[in-house]
Every structure is written in C-alpha cells, then in structure tokens.
Amino acid sequence: MTQPVANCPNCGAKIVFRWSSSVQTVCEFCKSILVRTDVDLKKVGQVADLPPDSSPIQINTEGKYGNKAFVVVGRILYEYDQGGWNEWHVMMNDGASAWLSDAQTEYALSLSSKVQNLPAVAQVHVGQQFTWSNQPYTVSVITPAHYRGVEGELPFQYWDKTDVTFVDLRTESRKFATLDYSDPEPALYLGEFVEFDDLKLKNLRSFEGWR
C-alpha cells in the first residue's frame, strides 16, 4: 500500500497519510486542519494546542487487539462535565479503522457498525434496551459532550463540530455500544472494554517520575 503524500497548503510541510482512507489530518507543524480532496489538501481550520492531558497513548502508539496489530494515527478529544476523554483513531494491520477510547484510563476498542434504523436522540432514555447483532444493549448514560480538539488522521471530516451527544450502552459482558449523534444521521459503534495489559502497547508517553 503506497502512502499518499502531499504538502500542507498553509506551511508547506510534508503531510504523509499513514492510513489510505484518511479524510482529514492535522499538520504536525502549523496545526492546520487539512481535509483531503483526494491528494490535494484544503485547509479548513486550525486547532489550538490541545490541552495537556493524562492519556498514556499518543500518535504512533502501537498495540495489539486479539491477533491484529494496530497503530494510533489520529485522535478526537472530547470534554464533558465530569472530565474529558480521547477517541484514538487506530489503523489495524488489515486496513480496518477502529477507535480506542481512554476515559480515565478505562480502555475500550470499538468499530463502526453498519446497522440501520438507529433511534433518534429524542427517543433514547436511560435503561432502554436495544438489540444489535443478536446482542442486547442497555442505555447506561446519555452524555452531552463538547468537542475539544483533533490531532492526526481521521476517517471523516471533524473540524466544525462543537456540541455532540453520546449515548453509552452496556451489556452484562465486556461489550458496549456507543450512539454518536454528531451528524444528522446517528452512527453506531460496537466494541468491548479491554485491559491495558492485553493491548501490549508500545511507544507510550512517559510520565515524569513514573516508569
């Protein structure tokens, strides 16, 4: 797979897409948000420096999910009234795109689902049950969140969002689901909670005073 290469229309720095399906990236140097219109890049905005955060994960962190290796290529940072969390965009070695979230170091991996006929946000309430792919999910919390920033490559354009609503659904196992209402059409992500040690992460950040 050849990696698409282009130059930042703002500062001219070289932009390499590690994931061929990336739609958006952020210039590492000038922090311009760049949207791909195939290989020509269009600057659509600029991100402020991301606030310091506590995630041990960073762009280029590598890990394993089951028998598949992945690398972190992008990130969306969200905030809600109890804190913040990251959705790390990861590229699996089979080319699939997935999301590794860390909310207070509770790690979960999820994939976009193609399930149709998702409920409208107004119809969802805590305790409600939904069944997708033969798995019942219970709505545990509805979180109004605020989009805080982006970094790296993303599979969609995500630069003009402000407030988004997420619906978290849990099961009796480690599986969970998230309904994302950031677009007019809801999106469903199905995934499971994972143990930090099982991810066998490499290229983690280091923290002063900790090994």
Judged by CB under 8 A, does residue 54 bind another protein? yes
Residues 6+ apart with CB under 8 A from 17: 3, 4, 5, 6, 25, 36, 153
Binding residue for another protein (CB under 8 A) from 38, 94, 105, 163? 105
Q: Which of 162, 160, 188, 190 shows the shortest CA–CA distance to 176?
A: 190
Judged by CB under 8 A, does residue 51 bind another protein? yes
DSSP single-letter state for residue 154: B
Distance CA 124, CA 5 (A): 43
Nearer to another protein, 52 or 184 (CB): 52
Judged by CB under 8 A, does residue 48 bind another protein? no
Judged by CB under 8 A, does residue 53 bind another protein? yes
Binding residue for another protein (CB under 8 A) from 104, 129, 133, 157? 104
Judged by CB under 8 A, does residue 52 bind another protein? yes
Distance CA 194, CA 26 (A): 28
Judged by CB under 8 A, does residue 91 bind another protein? no
Judged by CB under 8 A, does residue 14 bind another protein? no
Q: Are 35 and 42 in contact (CB under 8 A)?
A: yes
Q: Is the dihedral of CA 137, 108, 63, 33 positive or negative?
A: positive
Residues 6+ apart with CB under 8 A from 69: 62, 63, 92, 93
The footprint of another protein on residues 60-89 (CB under 8 A) is: 60, 81-84
Q: Tell me how many residues contact another protein (CB under 8 A).
A: 40
Nearest-approach distance from CB 187 to another protein, in angstroms:
22
Q: What angle do CA 12, 15, 16 make, to 5 degrees?
A: 155
Nearer to another protein, 137 or 185 (CB): 137
Nearer to another protein, 93 or 129 (CB): 129
* Residue appearing with tokens 């849990």: 170
The footprint of another protein on residues 148-187 (CB under 8 A) is: 170-174
DSSP single-letter state for residue 52: P
Nearest-approach distance from CB 95 to another protein, in angstroms:
22
Binding site for another protein (CB under 8 A): 28-29, 50-56, 58-60, 81-84, 104-106, 126, 138, 140-141, 170-174, 193, 196, 202-211
